[in-house]
Amino acid sequence: MILNRIDDGPGTPARGTSQDVSKTPSGYKLLAPKPHQRIAPSLSLRPMQSPDYSGQAEPRRPQTRQEWDTLKDVIRHLYLVENFTLEEVANTMLRDHSFAATKRMYKRQFKRWDWKKYNTQSVQESKETGRAIEMSQGQTTCRRPMRSKRNINIESAWAIRRCSSARVPTTSATPSTKLTCANGDDKRALQLFTSLRDLIHGTFRRDNAGWSSENLRFTGLPTTGRLLVSKMDQAIRLFESKHHKQGGIMLREAFRNLEDVMERDAIEIYQVVLLYIPFYLPGRYKDVTRAWLHHVMQMLSLKKRQNPISQLAKLLYLIHLNDAEYLGPALERLFSITADTYSQLRGTKDLSTLMAIVDLLLARGDSKTSQESALAVEKLGSLVEEAAVQFGETSETTIGIEACQVTYAARLMLSPADTKIAELCKTHVGIVVQARDRLVEVMGMTAAFIAEV
């Protein structure tokens, strides 16, 4: 029924009388609706009907993209610049702009605008694919805030933690590493190290006979891509000398030659492509390093998708993308894994193992003061002596190992003027001259024999 207030005094009829029944004790007049009328009760007051209404616009629910895009800058400032939570953004927009959108609606728009606040897996995938995203200007975390609010006193929680730590000493199951580089990189680093071990051990299982060959320990495992190192080095030197055009040409040539190198076996290319070049590129050339790792990752995903080297390249690229400062420690650890794994599988009296050890010493930067440097040079000398006994003092194999010994000794020792280096160079030059004379003699005898015939 419809209630109308009667202004002329509240008359109270006696029970059972024949007075106008439309008058009630409450002072309202009961008006029965007519048959053609429909009762539509209003259970809420509109803002214009509220006695406390202050003239603010009626809250509106956005219906079109244009309504969102009109307030996009305001929402962006709150969410990404001021670093408000989603709930705070919704409340602020409702209070200040009468913008009555739900959290689900906000999330859909954030996805459309490519806004990310948390360093989640989708962020890494977007960076990997080169998709442009915009993240919060404040500190990001890898986990979203807790959904349920808990009133926890920080001091009490810290005291409980200290007491529990004192009662039950705990140790981390994860070995300490230098790669504690924020959100998820510890896990990524462990995956990186596992991928390299899988690559080396997988090659050993596949070609056990070849890896166990006696001659291979004198010649070393086949490697490919040394020319790439030379080209990248020349490009950087040209950039340093302000010859940017020539440096760019050399850099593009190195990138083009990479495709031919990718056709070789993964064990032959990973050291040059994924260790040497990224490690020895100067730190100020981060863009070049990132472009190189990204290009290598894309090519390996096409040519060697099922090989661990593809995962190795992807993880290195993601580490550099997340924080370039942690690429160096990661690569140094890969040098160490290579040396340790080669020592385990091939032994220490092996050219590939000794070269990996020298690479590790050079990467660590303490080779000039390390006793391991002198030990590595001595082991190379022992390998030279074994090769001389087996193949001859002037054989190509012996001369090649001796050349490696001289080169690495010069890079590892304190000074090029070191007496040991001078002695090695003198011995090596003498053997090379002797081999040359022997070759000239053989060629002369061959020519004389042909002339007689």
Q: What is the pLDDT of residues 170-182, one digit of tens each?
A: 333 333 444 444 4
The more confident residue out of 67 and 445 is: 67
Q: What six digits make up the tokens of 281? A: 């590129």
Whether 312 and 200 share a structural domain: yes
Give, in degrees to the nearest 5, the angle at Cα 389 between 213 and 396: 70
Number of domains in the chain: 3
Whether 320 and 388 share a structural domain: no
Q: Tell me the C-alpha distance between 28 and 2, whole Å.
A: 10
Is 428 inside a domain boundary?
A: yes
Average pLDDT on 7-14 reads 46
- Domain end position, chosen among 294, 319, 337: 337
Whether 104 and 248 share a structural domain: no
Q: Position of tokens 């006979």?
A: 209
Is 32 inside a domain boundary?
A: no
Is 426 inside a domain boundary?
A: yes
Whether 441 and 297 share a structural domain: no
Predicted pLDDT at 296: 94
Whether 310 and 217 share a structural domain: yes
Whether 90 and 202 share a structural domain: no
Whether 193 and 329 share a structural domain: yes
Is 293 inside a domain boundary?
A: yes
Whether 261 and 308 share a structural domain: yes
- Domain end position, chosen among 337, 356, 377: 337
- Name the least confident of 67-81, 183-197, 305-319: 183-197
Whether 383 and 325 share a structural domain: no
Task: Count other C-beta atoms under 10 Å from residue 274's C-beta.
Answer: 25
Is 22 inside a domain boundary?
A: no
pLDDT in tens, 268-308: 899 999 999 999 888 888 999 999 999 999 999 988 988 99
- For residues 45, 51, 53, 54, the Cα torsion angle rounded to the nearest 10 degrees is 170
Predicted pLDDT at 230: 87
Is 303 inside a domain boundary?
A: yes
Q: Tell me the C-alpha distance between 330 and 9, whole Å.
A: 91
- Name the least confident of 24-28, 93-97, 232-236, 295-299: 24-28
Whether 316 and 216 share a structural domain: yes
Whether this prediction's pTM lies above 0.75 is answered by no
Task: Count other C-beta atoms under 10 Å from residue 285's C-beta.
Answer: 17
Flag whether pLDDT at 164 surpasses 80. no
Is 308 inside a domain boundary?
A: yes
- For residues 359, 362, 363, 369, the Cα torsion angle rounded to the nearest 10 degrees is 140
Whether 300 and 211 share a structural domain: yes
Predicted pLDDT at 289: 92
Average pLDDT on 184-204 reads 85
Is 54 inside a domain boundary?
A: no
- Name the least confident of 41-45, 229-233, 370-374: 41-45
Percent of the chain at pLDDT > 90 equals: 16
Q: Give how far the C-alpha of residue 83 lies from the chain's centroid of Cα atoms, to the nearest Å.
A: 25
Predicted pLDDT at 291: 92
Predicted pLDDT at 300: 92
Flag whether pLDDT at 439 surpasses 50. yes
Q: How many residues make up the chain in this entry? A: 453
Contact call for residues 380 and 352 (beta carbons, < 8 A): no
**N- to C-terminal Cα distance for the chain?**
135
What are the backbone dihedrals phi and psi of residue 23, each rounded to the nearest 5 degrees, phi first? Answer: -95, 130
Confidence category of residue 9, pLDDT binned at 50, 70, 90: very low
Whether 370 and 329 share a structural domain: no
Average pLDDT on 36-50 reads 42
Q: Which of 255, 326, 293 minimizes the C-alpha distance to 130?
A: 293
Q: Which domain holds residue 382?
A: 366-452
